[in-house]
Structure 1
Amino acid sequence: MKISLTRRTVIPALLVLTLLAAFALYLFQPWRAFTTTTVNESLPSAKPAASAPAAKMGTGDKMGTGDKELARGRFVSHEHDTSGTARTLGLADGSRVLRLEDLKTSEGPDVRVYLSPRSAAEVGKGLGDGAVELGKLKGNEGNQNYAVASGTDLSRFHSVVVWCERFSVPFGAADLASMAR
């Protein structure tokens, strides 16, 4: 059987291949395997009272008076190598923050941070009912803070998950161990 390559068959075939390649590039974003976004936000602290002097809070500094660590955990890898620490912090003003410290993971096309009712080992099966999204991952390396909405019952959540929304897979997760005394 002889295949005839004419302009009438080659041009539509090239157009289809070009569209498929563009879609694949959009979906997988392979260049992200070679990029890094580093974020280094300061350790959060409730705003000091008007009479108290302002203290500069930086990475590695201690928390402010009245602020406390509620839970913490170390990341374990799932679909991508992931390391670092997740901490939930209660600030003196009553607000709560999730802090990722020394995070190191891969960049991805649509990566987000979640609180999950499942353990870090179980999130490979999915986030679980009632998981709460805290926002898009700000950077794949460094220190970053995510506000936890008031009224969120932190005792319902067992892990923090760096989750790829596009492919529904965890990059990594950290079990949250309570710091209650």
Structure 2
Amino acid sequence: MRQLFSALLVIALTSLATVGALAGSSTTGNFIGKSSHIATGGVTIVKNADGTATVTLEDDFSLDSAPDPRVGFGKDGTFIEASDLGALKQLNGKQVYAVPASINLDDFNEIYIWCLKFSVPLGVAKLG
């Protein structure tokens, strides 16, 4: 009976580990305003086991305003234009952006709200 219990326990733990791996990993950050703009709220990046990823600006996200705000990645204080995920959908609240497979998330440590028109950061969230 003890061997059966041990075997079942090993199977259960292996299944849980597999489910955890399938769920992928995530990282989070919080926006701070830049260039005299107010940007607040959280962001979550989820890397899925299948190689896809999403960026979610959380319910508490807010940006005061700006012309042509975009969402994208950066590293060490520099926005990387090739990482542009598209226009900010709204100034407040939850919004989700798909990350193209061509973008390697390991290359970045920040999420930007970027003003394309004036080439300035509106908000930056360090990822950690």
Cα pair 1:113 1:162 within 8 Å, conserved: yes
Deviations 1:5-34 (A, max 9, x none): xxxxxxxxxxxxxxxxxxxxxxxxxxxxxx
Give the gaps of 5 or more residues in structure 1: 1-63
* Correspondence for 1:175: 126
Q: CA deviation at 1:107?
A: 2.2
- One of 48, 54, 76 as aligned partner of 1:91: 48
Q: CA deviation at 1:173?
A: 0.3
Matches within 5 A, 1:1-150: 66-79=22-35, 80-91=37-48, 93-101=50-58, 102-118=60-76, 122-123=77-78, 127-128=79-80, 131-150=82-101
CA–CA distance in 2 between the matches of 1:70 and 1:151? 18
What code does the residue aligned with 2:71 have? V
CA–CA distance in 1 between the matches of 2:25 and 2:31? 17
CA–CA distance in 1 between the matches of 2:75 and 2:68? 21
Q: SS where residue 94 of structure 2 aligns?
A: strand
Q: CA deviation at 1:70?
A: 2.2
Deviations 1:132-160 (A, max 9, x none): 10000001100011110114211110100
Moved over 3 A (4+): 91-94
Percent identity over the alignment is 33
CA–CA distance in 2 between the matches of 1:165 and 1:176? 22
* Correspondence for 1:160: 111
More strand by share: 2
Cα pair 1:111 1:163 within 8 Å, conserved: yes
Cα pair 1:115 1:133 within 8 Å, conserved: yes
Cα pair 1:116 1:131 within 8 Å, conserved: no
- When the two chains are superposed, the root-mean-square deviation of aligned CA atoms in Å is 2.0
Q: SS where residue 140 of structure 1 aligns?
A: coil
Which deviates the most, 135-144 or 68-77?
68-77
Deviations 1:75-131 (A, max 9, x none): 11112111011111123544210111121112222110111122xxx24xxx25x65
Q: Which has the greater radius of gyration? A: 1
Q: Under a length normalisation based on structure 2, what TM-score does the superposition of the two structures give?
A: 0.74
CA–CA distance in 2 between the matches of 1:170 and 1:152? 20
Q: Under a length normalisation based on structure 1, what TM-score does the superposition of the two structures give?
A: 0.54
Q: SS where residue 61 of structure 2 aligns?
A: strand
